[in-house]
Amino acid sequence: MTGICSIIEVETRKVLKPFPVSNQTNSFRVLFIMAKAIIKSFRFRINPSKAQSAKLENTLNLCRELYNAALAERRDAWKLNRINITRFDQDKQLPEIKQTNPEYKEIHSQVLQDVLKRLDKAFQSFFSRVKQGVKAGFPRFKGKNWFDSFCYAQSGFNVSGNRLTLSKIGKVKIKLSRQIQGKVKTCQIKRELNKWFVIFTVETAIEPLPKTGESVGLDMGVSAFVTLSDGTQIDNFKYYESTQKKLRVAQRSISRKKKGSNRRRKAVLKLRKIHQKIKNQRNDFQHKVSTYLVKTYDLIAIEKLSILGLSRGILAKQMNDIAIGNFFQKLEYKAANADKELIKVQPHFTSQDCSSCGNRVKKDLSVRVHYCLVCNLRIDRDFNAAINILNLAVGQTVKGSKWNNSSCLPLESTSNLL
C-alpha cells in the first residue's frame, strides 16, 4: 500500500500565486451556542513582508500537497485492498513525513494535523450525503487555486500590540480594527486574491441588547429586498445585476487572451476583483440591515424557505443576487448574540391568505397587490405576507385579527436608515 510519504515525493511542486480578496477588514460570525457562551470569529487584515508572504505561500503549497497525498492514500487503500484508513492512522505518519521530506519541518505540527482533520471532515460529509440518498460528491483533489487557508488549532500563535506572531513564519503586522473579546480557540490564516487575513475563533459570553418590546415579520422579495410587517420596505440594490455590463467586458477580455499567458492571468484577476467587490457590497448591505433589525425588534419572524429550490427556479438569478441564505444566517447569529428571538414559520399560503379576515385569495406571482373581496382589504402583496408571517410566529389566529384599512398606505423605504 502506498503511503503518504511516497505520494508526496512523486508529486510535482508548483509555486503558488496570490489568489482571492475582501475590502472588508473584519467581521465576526457565530458558529454555535451553548448555555450563555457563544463562539464567534473575528477577521482582521494582515500585512506580511515579502519574505513572510513567501513563507505563507510555501505553507499553503505544502499543506495542499499533504491534503492531496492523504486523499490519494485513502482512496487507493479502499479501491485496491478495501482498507479503511482513518485520520488517526494518517496522523501517525506525520513524523515519518517530516523525516523523508525536511521541508515539512518548517510547518507547525498542528497546522499539518489540521490539514488531515479537514480531509476527514470532507469524508464524513461525503458519507453523510450517501446515507441521505442525495448527490454525494466524493472529496476532490485541490488545485493551486483551491486551497487558500491553514489553521493553528490550539497553539503556535500570539497577538501582541500590532504584531501577530506565527510559529515558523515570524511576526506579522496586523490591523486590529476592534478588540478581540473572549478566549481565542483557533487562528486561521486565509489568502484572498492578493491579500492576507487572519480569523480568530473565540469563545465568549453573549452580549444582550436592550429590549424594545417590538415584533416584526419579514417577507423577502425581488423588487424590494425585504418588506416588514409594520409597513417598512427596504430597497433591493441588485449589486450583481447592476454590474453585469462590467462583467461582460471583463469576460470577453479573458476569451481573447491566450490560455496560459500572463495577460490572461491579469484579465482573470481583474474579473475576480469585480466579483469580489459585488460580494463585499452585498455583505456590507446585509450586515447593516440585519444589525438594524436586531437592534430594533425583540422578535423577528421569517419564512423557512428552501434556498436550493429558489436558486433553481425561474427567478434563480435574482434570488442568488439577494443571497437570502446568507442574510438569514447573519440574522440568526446576531439575534442569538443579542439575546433576541428569531422564529421560522412555514411559508405555505402566506402571500395568498388575507391578513385581515383569513380568506384565501389565490393570485399569480405577477400580481403584486393583495385585494380581498370579503373584507375589501387592498395592500401590497409582500406587506400582506409579512403580516401573516408575524401572526404565525406569535401564534395569533389570522381570522381573529383586526386590521385598520386606514393604515394601508404606500410602503416606506428605509434606504436612508441604513
Catalytic positions, written as ranges: 219, 303, 382
Instruction: Transcribe 159-205 into DSSP letters.
Output: EETTEEEETTTEEEEEE--S---SEEEEEEEEEETTEEEEEEEEEEE
Burial 303-319 (b: 16+ CB within 10 A, else e): bebeeeebeeeeeeebb
Asked if residues 42 and 200 have their Cβ atoms less than 8 Å apart, the reply is yes
Which amino acid is residue 146, in one-letter code?
A: W
Rounded CA separation 151/160 (Å): 19
Q: At what angle do helices 324-337 and 262-296 cross, to 10 degrees?
A: 50
Q: How far apart are the first and last CA of the chain?
A: 60
Beta bridge partners of 191: 196
Q: Which helix (H) or strand (E) holds 44?
A: strand 37-47
Rounded CA separation 299/214 (Å): 7
